Each structure stands twice: as C-alpha cells, then as structure tokens.
Amino acid sequence: MIMTMTSDPFSPSPRVEVITSVQRRRRWTTAEKVRLVEEAMQPGMSVSYVARRAGIAPSQLFAWKRRMLEGGATAVQADDDVVGAGRVRELEKRVRDLERMLGKKTMEVEILKEALDLVAPKKPTLRLASFNQDGSL
C-alpha cells in the first residue's frame, strides 16, 4: 500500500487506533450464541449487521452458525438428539469412574480366589490301580 502525503488540509488522514488496555476475551453462553445466530437467520437481517451490533467479528458469527447447522445435520443423519459438550464430558467422567471401580472389584475377586486356594483343603486325587494281565494288583 502506497500512501502519498498531501498538503491539502481537507484530505482525510489515515486512521490510527491506540489500544490502551488489555481486555479479556468475552465468553458467550450457548444461549447467547443461539440467540445471535437465530437473529442473523431472520429474513432481512445480515450476519455482518448482527455481529457489528453484538461487538463481535462477522467470521465468529459465521463459525457459530456453521457449527449449529452441522450439529443439526449430524443429529438428523444419526436420527438422534444433539448432546452438548458439557454432557459428553460428564458422561466420559462417569465411564472413567465406573472403569476404575470395575478394576478394583476385579482385583478384589482375584485376591479372594488366591486366598481360597491357600485355605481350602486340597481334594485328594484318585489313583487308578494298575492291574497285571492276570487281574492281580
């Protein structure tokens, strides 16, 4: 980009933006995201306009919209409900806890089997007597 300097006092000067503070990223709740995407999908509304009003980049709103549409399409293809990420994490934690409990119970069973083998009397084994050809022992 080439800029030329003019001495004309009425020509627009380049815009300079000074950032004076560090702001944290805003966290949007799922309900807020859904509301903004639904608003952008209304007839006569544009994604850029809704994004500008909300103070976010249009690309962010497009990404939310794409994810919502993909999630809905996936649910329709699978003929199943869409499950939120929080619920998935909760269920994964539950599976890990149950696997841990199963491992403990399996170890307990093995220990008890070993203890029974040590304590239980051995069954006598029967020996077959060998007979001579004449029928005597």
Q: What is the pLDDT of residues 102-119, one digit of tens each?
A: 999 999 999 999 998 888
Give the whole-number percent of the chain exceeding pLDDT 70: 62
Residue 36 is assigned to a structural domain of this protein: yes
Residue 54 is assigned to a structural domain of this protein: yes
Shared domain check, 51 and 98 = no
Shared domain check, 89 and 77 = no
pTM of the model: 0.41
Return mean pLDDT, the chain: 78
Residue 130, Cβ neighbours under 10 Å: how many?
Answer: 6
Q: Give the confidence band of 9 by pLDDT, cuts at 50, 70, 90.
A: low
Shared domain check, 93 and 69 = no
- Tell me whether residue 40 is exposed, middle or buried, using C-beta atoms within 10 angstroms of its C-beta: 0 to 12, 13 to 18, 19 or more: buried
Separation CA 34–CA 68 (nearest Å): 8
Shared domain check, 96 and 53 = no
Residue 103 sits in which domain range? 85-118
Tally of CA atoms within 13 A in the half-sphere of 80 that contains its CB:
6
The residues, any chain, with a CB within 8 Å of residue 81's CB and separated by 6 or more, are: 75
Residue 8 is assigned to a structural domain of this protein: no
Shared domain check, 95 and 78 = no
Is the pLDDT assigned to residue 1 strictly greater than 50? no
Shared domain check, 78 and 35 = yes
For 40-82, the pLDDT digits (tens) are 989 998 889 999 999 999 998 888 888 888 776 665 566 566 6
